Structure 1
Amino acid sequence: MAIPTLFVFLLLLTSAMAEIKTLQITSDPRPIILFEKFGFTNGGSVSITLSSTSVSAPSSLDPSLLGFFLLSDDNLLQAIYQSEQQQNPNPNPSCILSSPYVRPLFTFRDLSPSSSFNRTFPVDLPDEYSLYFANCAPASSATSVSMSVRTEMYNLRPDGTRDYLSVGQAPVPTVYASFALLYVLFLAAWAYLGLLKNRLSAHRIHYLMAALLLTKVLNLVFAAEDQHYIRATGTPHGWDVLFYLFQFLRGVLLFTVIVLIGTGWSFLKPFLQDREKKILMLVIPLQVVANLASVVIGETGPFIRDWVTWNQVFLLIDIVCCCAILFPIVWSIRSLRETSKTDGKAARNLAKLTLFRQFYIAVVGYLYLTRIVVYALRTIAAYRYRWVSVLAEEAVSLGFYLFMFYMFRPVERNEYFVIDDDEEEAAEAALREDEFEL
């Protein structure tokens, strides 16, 4: 793959964190390898340690054609343009390490006799930089590199201690902790007002919704702890295991609750039809695979060869799950429209139809905002304000949870079942008009 093409793809990547990492590269022929992306403040530094370095190449290869460099997002487009201009007319383009738009750190010419290297480089100009390795050897030489790489990228706090979170991620632990507290209050209110005071009106779905809130709380708590520990030490120290566990449980429960509400389970009927069971049997295994992809993406970083593939797998599975959970809601809307023509309960069916329609719009809005708008915000926001995308995602999620839990709360006079008789005539006319709508 040509270097400009690689740069175009890497331009679209946004890295969530940059803790201390030890990476093993084995017989890798790629011309460009992205290791980390990090937002620096004044006094930030990047430390690189190489060991067990070996190059499979002709003996005449110039070692200065292989090395590490930093590249800011501001200079990335210029570097892409320059590389394209050099490659198109010139069969022997110059190395990206000599570009005026990059900051070279060191080349393999600087390695010690034991093929190792250890140095810390200060970053004097605050910006967001990506750490790359460049292999500028001619493609015909089939040069591949093996090495063990340890990277540390950090900023300095006013007290002189290291902050291993990118400047745009530094407020994230506080954001997660704040929303965890809000969800604790949410769960307490749901348990007291919904399940305790209205326990006679509570259905099985309401207890499942309480379990969803609990997993959301635990997911946020361990996410906050994970990010805080990384910020202080540079390593997750096992907190990420619990974070991924409760992220998986929260994802499975959220999609399950949406499917069950969309089918009317526990509200309107005590069982699921075969097609609805198939949706659940599709969504749950896909969530397992999606979380496996999430772990690979989060724990390995972009340096592995299949990192792009895992990103595509995660995106594809997420889209499939989002589409799958909409089908039960559409089926319920169609079923209610058909039933309203024969059972003579026009007002009741109109209320149910309106409720499911509102729920459908809310689910679509939630998926659109969290999958598209939040991603766009994360991409276009200045590197110092990447945490705003996390805040926006959690705010949208909280708003959706509040809407869903309020609509399907346990109450004595449920709008599913209690309709005044004098509403029937108006409802019949509304249902006739509704046949021409969604």
Structure 2
Amino acid sequence: MALLSALLNCRNPNRLLLRKALSLLFLFLTFDNVFCFSAHDSYSLTRQKTHLISFTPTGFGFAPGGTANLTSLSFYIAGNTDTKWNAYFLLRRYDNEERYLEEYSLAEDNKLCMATDESRMDDTDVVLDMSDPTKWQTARTVTTTFTDESQGLYFLTFQRCEPKGEGDADAIHKLSLKFHHHFCNLSPDGQCNDHLSEGEQPLPTLYTCFGFAYTLSLFLWSYTIRKAKASESTSTLSRTIRKDIKVHHVHHVMTFLLVVKVMTVYCDALRWHYIRWTGSGEAWSVFFYFFSFLKGMMLFLVILLIGSGWSFVKPFLSDKEKKIVFIVLALQVFDNIAILALSGQTEGTGSYITWSQILHLIDLVCCAAVIFPIFWQIRRLEDAVAADELAEHSIRKLTLFKQFYQLVVAYIYFTRIIALLIATNLGYRHAWLQEFMSEGVTLMFYMLVGYKFRPIEKNPYLQVKGDSDDEDEGLNLEEFGLNEGDDEDEMSNPSTGPNAL
């Protein structure tokens, strides 16, 4: 409530922006009740126009002693009874995810039958043949245990080879099924009850450790805020001791972001823990997706507010900045709602893959959009420095915002691009390293931004000229701590005063 009160104390146009953001959040909470977080190893399709499905797009790593169970509970393909059918579930080993995607794309584009290609068939392939229509309504199962020779990264695919999916064949031969697969690896007690892939087994411990790291960061940040507020109160009450330390509204927003991040990481750790031992993390998935949604919203909001200079430099956002904020938050709401909706669909279907690609594109657009306010702020500071080369405060601010710009670009580039590229070259046993690198870089980003924009003495921020003269109306420099401790500088060098820019 304190955070909302601080934001609502801004100028009226910003209140409208906040109401829109809260309305979108309410929309998310409303839709959250209808989303279904089903177990990761059960699938149900009803009259789908598809002939090729990837059930495990990222694969599952089996260690020696691991077990795979494929069970078809109900299966039906629309069509004539005298049609020759060739349909199956195929569990096949690949060197890496890239190799699987190549074969999957070839089978989809060229209508190749993956399980009947004699040159590709291997002794380690696990096939559940569904070509006999008389057995479609009968529960069928196949189970295999992996050895030292057969261990590896496996991908589960469904394919209908005949009749071929050409022209309107997919529309005619619609697929309905209820399918269950159970994958497990040996746990330390020798039982096959570890439901995580070999490369995912360190994730519960990994996220727990990062949760402790973020909790420690939250305590340090809260201590810094309390210390700064105490100094601020001391300087207000005492006329002999003056300290240029100001806790701005954006500092409280950053505190809330850290709280949400801590909750997200802990929920993710619990989610992976329950998936590991029960095969499902439905309950904790609800909390994880909720806090993940808030975390994404708050992270982009903090970057936008710091980059635009809100609360530090000026108590308002320009019209261009408000538009960027609203667009980014709206896209984040849509992105998270669609991700939750997709979580209830079968992975690997055409619509799932298409929407996943669109959502990743939206995320990249949001990342690019948050760069603009920082760039505008840097441009204004460069103009100020060019107008007065002796403006020491402007140079300090320009350096700080350039460093912030570099941090944001590096963070986005690594977490959205570099981490994925590295992951494609990792062996399946080291898949957890992708999460380790992403979370490690994120923690470093949080710490560096918090360190550079913490409440400190001799704050380098000054008023920056806005996009229009109207923006300067009603600017209360004292409220934002921009005129404290600057009296002596104004006397000695007027160019560094609060109105120099």
Structure 2 residue 118 is the aligned partner of structure 1 residue 117: no
**1:229, 1:236 within 8 Å by CA — same for their partners in 2?**
yes
For normalisation by structure 1, the TM-score amounts to 0.84
Aligned counterparts of 1:281 and 1:300: Cα–Cα separation in 2: 29
Q: Relative to structure 1, is the Cα distance of residues 97 and 29 closer, same or farther in structure 2, using a 3 angstrom cutoff?
A: farther
Aligned counterparts of 1:135 and 1:109: Cα–Cα separation in 2: 9
Please, which of 355, 362, 370 is the counterpart of residue 317 of structure 1?
A: 362
Correspondence for 1:148:
178
* Post-superposition offset of 1:54: 1.5
**1:19, 1:152 within 8 Å by CA — same for their partners in 2?**
no
Please, which of 189, 194, 206 is the counterpart of residue 163 of structure 1?
A: 194
Structure 1 SS opposite 2:162: coil
Aligned counterparts of 1:331 and 1:79: Cα–Cα separation in 2: 41
Cα RMSD of the aligned pairs, angstroms, is 3.0
* Post-superposition offset of 1:335: 1.2
Correspondence for 2:211:
180
Q: Relative to structure 1, is the Cα distance of residues 348 and 146 closer, same or farther in structure 2, using a 3 angstrom cutoff?
A: same
Structure 2 SS opposite 1:238: helix
Is there any run of 5+ residues in structure 1 with no aligned partner, and where?
1-17, 429-438
Please, which of 117, 126, 135 is the counterpart of residue 151 of structure 2?
A: 126
Q: Relative to structure 1, is the Cα distance of residues 319 and 213 closer, same or farther in structure 2, using a 3 angstrom cutoff?
A: same
Correspondence for 2:353:
308
Aligned counterparts of 2:48 and 2:213: Cα–Cα separation in 1: 47
Correspondence for 2:220:
189
Structure 2 residue 423 is the aligned partner of structure 1 residue 378: yes
Correspondence for 1:436:
none
Deviations along 1:29-85, one digit per CA (max 9) or x if unpaired, are: 43321112211111112222222322223333344x111111222298599679969
Correspondence for 2:41:
21
Q: Which has the higher contact order (CA 8 A, sep 6+)?
A: 2
Structure 2 residue 403 is the aligned partner of structure 1 residue 358: yes
**1:69, 1:97 within 8 Å by CA — same for their partners in 2?**
no
**1:290, 1:313 within 8 Å by CA — same for their partners in 2?**
no
**2:55, 2:157 within 8 Å by CA — same for their partners in 1?**
yes
Superposed, 1:223-372 pairs within 5 Å as 223-342=268-387, 346-372=391-417
Structure 2 residue 84 is the aligned partner of structure 1 residue 53: no
Aligned counterparts of 2:346 and 2:104: Cα–Cα separation in 1: 27
Amino acid at match of 2:202: P
Correspondence for 2:466:
none
For normalisation by structure 2, the TM-score amounts to 0.74
Please, which of 21, 25, 40 is the counterpart of residue 62 of structure 2?
A: 40
Please, which of 86, 95, 101 is the counterpart of residue 74 of structure 1?
A: 95
Q: Relative to structure 1, is the Cα distance of residues 82 and 170 closer, same or farther in structure 2, using a 3 angstrom cutoff?
A: closer
Superposed, 1:79-118 pairs within 5 Å as 96-99=115-118, 100-101=120-121, 103-109=125-131, 112=135, 114-118=137-141
* Post-superposition offset of 1:347: 0.8
Correspondence for 1:136:
161
Structure 2 SS opposite 1:416: coil
* Post-superposition offset of 1:197: 4.1
Structure 1 SS opposite 2:196: coil
Between 1:319-328 and 1:73-82, the stretch displaced more is 73-82
Amino acid at match of 2:46: T
Amino acid at match of 1:271: F
**2:70, 2:128 within 8 Å by CA — same for their partners in 1?**
no
Structure 1 SS opposite 2:182: strand
Deviations along 1:392-428, one digit per CA (max 9) or x if unpaired, are: 0011001111110011000122122579969x99x99
* Post-superposition offset of 1:261: 0.5
Structure 1 SS opposite 2:292: helix
* Post-superposition offset of 1:161: 4.3
Q: Relative to structure 1, is the Cα distance of residues 328 and 57 closer, same or farther in structure 2, using a 3 angstrom cutoff?
A: same
Please, which of 396, 401, 419 is the counterpart of residue 441 of structure 2?
A: 396
**2:184, 2:192 within 8 Å by CA — same for their partners in 1?**
no
Deviations along 1:143-194, one digit per CA (max 9) or x if unpaired, are: 3331111121111213114111111111011111101101111000111123
**1:70, 1:130 within 8 Å by CA — same for their partners in 2?**
yes
* Post-superposition offset of 1:108: 1.6
Please, which of 27, 31, 53 is the counterpart of residue 51 of structure 2?
A: 31
**2:76, 2:137 within 8 Å by CA — same for their partners in 1?**
no
**1:27, 1:144 within 8 Å by CA — same for their partners in 2?**
yes
Aligned counterparts of 2:265 and 2:129: Cα–Cα separation in 1: 42
Is there any run of 5+ residues in structure 2 with no aligned partner, and where?
1-37, 233-245, 463-484, 497-501
Q: Relative to structure 1, is the Cα distance of residues 214 and 104 closer, same or farther in structure 2, using a 3 angstrom cutoff?
A: same
Aligned counterparts of 1:189 and 1:79: Cα–Cα separation in 2: 45
- Percentage of identical aligned residues: 35
Structure 1 SS opposite 2:381: helix
Between 1:394-403 and 1:115-124, the stretch displaced more is 115-124
